[in-house]
Structure 1
């Protein structure tokens, strides 16, 4: 593997920590230095000591002893005195911490510690006494950690007894977490949860408070065990904590990973720590600990997220007391904490690699060395990943190119696409060859095919049109039409310096352009009209309205539009991060959930999936090699159910535009007016779609992901030049295209649903002749006894206030 020259080309930095369940001694500066020398970046520290644990147990034992003695048949109590009960005997109070109760003190390096709350408490206990004492302990620890300057606290998740979920106990747990966030307003809290519950068992610690529980509340609602139990518990906790950005997950990797659908769900959640216990490693042929292929694949996927999780190695052995062995094991590579990025990436020389192999069996930190090995051998980011890296899950308001004049940097971003303009050139070239082969009448007097680039921007399509002409030897006459006065200056310069004055540059809104000027002063027609007006949902930047407005210049007999048609596509998704981001802005922008966003989706999960066979039955355009990926066991993974909302074709039927012109002006023959206001002249571009998505696995819908496909040109041989952002067809039609990110329609109140549910999506494209906006609605249904029952309905969202101006 070559050395990485560019930091942007390097895999992400991995931060790796060390955790010991039995760590009892204080984590002082000396131990921190040893951890760093061993190539760890962080270390965990308990907030309280076994001394504190013993005191709490003693209090609880005294309390139970008093209850037991009072109820003993052979006690000598006076019968006239009331017998203490859990309702009358005061709950034990945990006293304030003493120096013997906690190893923590404020110091300069405390920010490098991950504090862990007591793993022996049970915040979700069905016994009210145990729950109360646990909450007292928890609040004491959180308050003291915050006082000491701790920033990161790891909290043991709720005990999922026998793999079940008890609703009342989960809400009890979530409330305790909510209190903790108020106690330490600057703390980041990490809830330890298994990827999926195995045969969930009681805690092995004999002194765990759950073993002292004596009573159970009668209002518990128990849900059956499921592979989704762990995620379901997290969903309850984070929902009650209002999707706080300070509450995230420490996800424990089991030795055997759950299904890919569960893995994908966790991938969409805010996982900030990946907890790898020693039991998840397996020995290789020379008895060194390694991870399975499935585990490595999961790690690689997580490490491609915008926010890279930390890795925490648990119970993999003590921190070595010297640096020598660590240096031998890592080929002399500096610890990441010291190297801080690019300087850590060059690989060791062959000699150092040989020394590395020689000392394998003497490695004091074999688990850490293996993880560092995986880090150094992560695949490079390809061009697409490098381009989108800074945009992952970053919400952007869609452009309004009609209302606003774009900046040069915006055009420049579009022009970096390695696919789009190449495909446009192919489409133009094929159109020119077909035109010549069919001997069609051209609109110019010189025999050249007249091409107009409507909305030329900085001119990339103009350049491609000229290249297509040169490649096909078909003469062309090119017109560049652009309303942006700043881009107009640059187009004229390009015409002088690069296009050899072959282009006529026109400053005009395309809808007001009268067409090419002929020698006699009249206006002629255009044979091929080229545009790149599509947005993330195809029509969201008013491509239909713009192309309708310029269609009058198109050759009425043989005129070609590139693109010829486009379709909008949609699917429901879970994306907690985007929902939390919008929720965080809603206090200052109440309309945050009434606006679709352009976003490079990364941490999300498709809620409706189809097998390849189901996709065939639903007429989804998919091939075995497209949109399907073999899983680790060789089976074919499901395909997202992405359904078509509506389509537009150009040139539009003349009769439709004639009716539109009739309505414009409000004549009696034009009807009574538009449904949403105005005369209704643009109502032919309004659309409505309703779709049903089957969701086999339970989940929460935070919104809708929108994509598009377009046919740039379909040749006389039936072959098409197409672009697609639809994840099902993108690899087949335009792999590696980066010009358009998906669009996201958020849902104000997330829709939760059980297994085997159905989501019904209604979406409208509305217009009042002045602007265009979208409205959307999500409903959840479940089949009960053969009848379709509605579970919940979202608000009717509308982007009218922020509609795209015409």
Structure 2
């Protein structure tokens, strides 16, 4: 497992005079620095002694700018830094003058460090709004580690502008916060494990976990200000989660070489975590876990898959088939179901009939055959259903004739047809499907199975999965909200806040425990997990109340699911009980157009409708408390799934 490259920034307390900025950038490039931060406090309008921007340089870097560009476009490689303690109106004028000078020389990004305990938050918010809305400047706001409330107030006064980002300043480090698994007990380790979707190693408790660090990780970070990252040669343990996410770090220039030595301990720490993970979960695909965490950690909204409407591409099938944890769970569940069938008194030793509903490229067929082989049961016939004609070609080549020494020869016709509309000429002992979406029921698994399974299974046939329950949880997801704002502005379509999205929410901050909302049981008569529900077919309604466990900002809700495949075998994406190494599903995200400030122990009540009628499936939702909102996606106008 490779360590992500460290992204380093350097800073100094004094501007470098009488040096050309181009030469400075070249020197920084040799030290793997990517761009410079110019101290705008030394701008001519503020400090008359400085006459030209090339007379000073302030060092920093970013992972998003190519180093080879600095010769021709220095303005793209520079961030203007304002470090004027804001204590009075004159200080605000100095900040405004520095920002105007930044615009004059072509730098449209500024870093503002107002100092600790400044009292002019409202006037500063007004100034920042003007810079962002009128001049389209990007602002990086430096906030003390323990002043999240002030940052949150500023963010609300600036209307959650996507041009506003934050740079939290790490707290001063004591000798007891140095690295090492023992010293990270309950502090940093939970964040690292959560990033990779791993459980905490045995014997490690999260009782002392730094929840403020998780709160910052959910914010639109531009960098982390680590002005004092070392104590007696040991790096700050709080840096671990930020390094995993490749957040740029601003460190003092004298610490660069020592900080790079931290990469070795960082690598050892991760390797120790994964060595425990490998022993505990040998079925997990480690490379896939790491790749998924690295590529999708930023909370970017993705469009949900619509397999009923669109044929999946070959690459999508291939990505899902790499999830060894999911198919290992399926194979174990199939083995349990086959053993239950064999234990029946009237079991026909000549074999049994199995239906694979929605086979894709055939991973469930392989799971079924391997399970049957291991327990020594004969499968007489496997009916493979798949409506995607391109996937059917792969299935025909792989499974037209299947055989093994214990199961003799098995003829398995591949049926290119929508199994909902197929009229079976027999009943099956077992039907296997993998139609679950990120919210469990959002890809129309109930609509596909509720009316179909009785025809396929009769009275005694078994279904995998047996049941699945959807869960909902309130989350602070500032990065995702920022992405939706940018999507809305770019497409000029405000309806992005009335659609379901698929998001990797591992950097989100959960404000309450997940609560069950909808359940579908394909083995028994449906039993609802919540009493306040009214159902009509596959349509459902629930009203859920959460008690906020943390203070934060409510940006939306995370939709997840827990699934019982068969017996005691199952899979889960629910926060707090997620199956380790499972990467096939991210969370469904139900956004709010206007975020809400939530205090600890506040009540949050949400109403959620699942409506399935007239050949369509859609969801509607609204907040009842703390503030009443309108119903999103009313009538499925903005977002629905075509069931035809």
Is the contact made by 2:43 and 2:98 (CA closer than 8 Å) also made in structure 1? Answer: no
Matched, 1:387 2:331: no
Shift of 1:441: 4.4
Local SS of the residue matching 1:549: coil
TM-score normalised by the chain length of structure 1: 0.65
Structure 1: distance between partners of 2:616 and 2:466: 23
**Quick check: 1:173 aligned with 2:128?**
no
User: Does 1:575 pair with 2:477?
Assistant: yes
Q: Given the superposition, is the C-alpha separation of residues 512 and 44 from structure 1 closer, same or farther in structure 2, using an over 3 Å criterion?
A: closer
Q: Trace 1:207-606 onto structure 2 (pairs within 5 A).
A: 230-256=147-173, 260-278=210-228, 280-283=229-232, 289-291=233-235, 295-296=236-237, 298-305=238-245, 308-314=246-252, 317=254, 367-371=258-262, 373=264, 379=270, 382-383=286-287, 384-392=289-297, 393-441=299-347, 447-476=350-379, 477-496=381-400, 502-515=411-424, 523-587=425-489, 588-606=492-510
CA deviations on 1:694-718 (whole Å, 9 max, x unpaired) are 224321100101111111111xxxx
Contact 1:47 1:141 in 2 (8 A): yes
Partner residue in 2 for 1:189: 139
1:116 maps to: 81
CA separation of 1:470/1:375 partners in 2, compared to 1, >3 Å: closer, same or farther? closer
Larger Rg: 1
What is the Cα deviation at residue 407 of structure 1?
A: 2.0
Instruction: Give the Cα–Cα distance (whole angstroms) in 2 for the partners of residues 238 and 757 of structure 1.
Output: 21
Query: Does the 8 Å CA contact 1:452/1:528 hold for their aligned counterparts?
Result: yes
Higher mean displacement: 567-576 or 44-53: 44-53
- Which residue number corresponds to residue 804 of structure 1? 641
Aligned to 2:51: 99
> For each residue in 1:637-689, what CA deviation from the matched residue of structure 2 results, as whole angstroms up to 9, or x when unmatched?
xxxx1111121111454999xxxxxxxxxxxxxxxxxxxxxxx9x92212222
1-structure distance, mates of 2:456, 2:606: 37
Q: After superposition, what is the alpha-carbon deviation per residue over 1:261-305, rounded to whole angstroms, capped at 9, x for unaligned?
A: 211110100122111123x5211xxxxx322xxx32x32211222
2:42 aligns to what? Answer: 49
How many Å apart are 1:530 and its aligned residue?
0.6
Contact 2:473 2:559 in 1 (8 A): yes
The question of 1:160 aligning with 2:5 is answered: no
Contact 1:116 1:154 in 2 (8 A): yes
Q: Secondary structure at the match of 1:690?
A: strand
Indicate whether 1:144 and 2:16 are aligned. Answer: no
| Partner of residue 572, structure 2 | 724
Aligned alpha-carbon RMSD (Å): 3.1
Quick one: structure 1 residues 414 and 275, their matched pair in 2 at CA, closer, same or farther if it must change by over 3 Å? same
Cα contact 1:268–1:604 (8 A) shared by 2: yes
How far, CA to CA, are the matches of 2:595 and 2:155 in structure 1? 12
Runs of 4+ in structure 1 displaced over 6 angstroms?
A: none
CA positional deviation for 1:27: 5.4
Residue 111 of structure 1, CA deviation: 4.5
- What SS does structure 2 have at the residue aligned with 1:554? helix
Per the alignment, in what secondary structure is the counterpart of residue 222 of structure 2?
Answer: strand
* 1:752 shift after superposition: 1.0
SS in 1 for 2:399: helix
Gaps of 5+ in 2: 58-69, 178-186, 188-208, 275-285, 404-408, 529-533
Bigger shift: 738-747 or 761-770?
761-770
Structure 2 distance, partners of 1:697, 1:542, is: 34
Residues 562 and 571 of structure 2 are in contact (CA less than 8 Å); yes or no, is this contact kept in structure 1? yes
Name the CA distance, whole Å, in 2 between partners of 1:34 and 1:405. 52
Structure-2 separation of matches of 1:374 and 1:245 = 35
Is structure 2 residue 590 aligned with structure 1 residue 750?
no
Question: Is the 1:24–1:49 Cα contact (8 Å) retained in structure 2?
Answer: no
CA change 1:775–1:53 in 2 (3 A) is same
Show CA shifts across 1:232-273 (max 9, x none): 221222233333333211211112589722111101001221
Alpha-carbon contact 1:273-1:312 (below 8 Å) kept? yes
Separation in 1 of the partners of 2:557 and 2:551? Answer: 17
In the alignment, the residues of structure 2 paired with residue 697 and residue 388 of structure 1 have an alpha-carbon distance, to the nearest angstrom, of 25
Question: 1:366-406, CA deviations, whole angstroms, 9 ceiling, x for partnerless residues?
Answer: 64444455566573684202134323323122222222222
Q: Quick check: 383-392 or 720-729, which moved more?
A: 383-392
Distance 1:188 1:53 in 2: 21
Shift in Å, 1:756: 2.9
Q: Deviations over 1:334-373 (max 9, x none)?
A: xxxxxxxxxxxxxxxxxxxxxxxxxxxxxx8664444455
Give 1:188 shift: 3.5
What's the secondary structure of 1:759's corresponding residue? Answer: strand
Deviation per CA, 1:186-217: give whole Å up to 9, x if none.
Answer: x5421111111xxxxxxxxxxxxxxxxxxxxx
Runs of 5+ unmatched residues, structure 1:
1-8, 56-96, 197-229, 284-288, 318-363, 516-522, 609-640, 657-679, 715-719, 782-791
Give the 3 Å change call, closer, same or farther, for CA 51–534 of structure 1 in structure 2.
closer
Q: Which residue of 1 aligns with 2:91?
A: 134
Q: 1:527 to 1:38 in 2, by over 3 A?
A: closer
Quick check: 1:689 aligned with 2:606?
Answer: no
Alignment coverage as a number of residue pairs: 566
In 1, Cα distance between the equivalents of 2:505 and 2:340? 39
Contact 1:481–1:506 (Cα < 8 Å) also in 2: yes
CA gap of 1:134–1:481, structure 2 versus 1, over 3 A, is: same
Matched-pair contact (CA < 8 Å) for 2:500–2:591: yes
2:244 aligned counterpart, secondary structure: coil
Corresponding residue number in structure 2 for 1:355? none
- Structure-2 separation of matches of 1:458 and 1:233: 53
**Structure 2 vs 1, CA of residues 760 and 309 (structure 1 numbering), >3 Å: closer, same or farther?**
same
Deviation, 1:478, is 0.7
Q: Which of the numbers 9, 12, 32 marks the counterpart of 2:4? A: 12
* Contact 1:749–1:794 (Cα < 8 Å) also in 2: no
Q: Secondary structure at the match of 1:723?
A: strand
Q: Following TM superposition, by how much is the alpha carbon of 1:456 offset from its aligned partner in structure 2, in angstroms?
A: 1.2
Displacement after TM superposition at 1:15 (Å): 2.2
